[in-house]
Amino acid sequence: LPALFKQELQNTEAEEGGTATLRCELSKPNAPVEWRKGDATLYPGLKYEMKQQGSSVELIIYDLEVDDS
């Protein structure tokens, strides 16, 4: 069975130049997660950090710009 959202992403507000953290919880621990913005897949680097602990996953976006909304 596919992993489902137990807790979906919530809207987050942050200042330009700051950091935003998006969190959600899945029905299956350690399920593979792919973060996307529109059609583009996001990858870890200076701009994005991805964390996963069990069924809890996070996307951290650094140095926020208007295009990150």
pLDDT at 2 exceeding the cut of 90: no
Its pTM stands at 0.88
The type of residue at 41 is: T
CATH H-level, domain 5-68: superfamily: Immunoglobulins (2.60.40.10)
Q: For residue 47, name the pLDDT band (cuts at 50, 70, 90).
A: very high
The domain locations on the chain are 5-68
pLDDT of residue 9: 86
> Do the beta carbons of residue 50 and residue 44 sit within 8 Å?
yes
- Give the whole-angstrom CA distance, residue 6 versus residue 2: 12
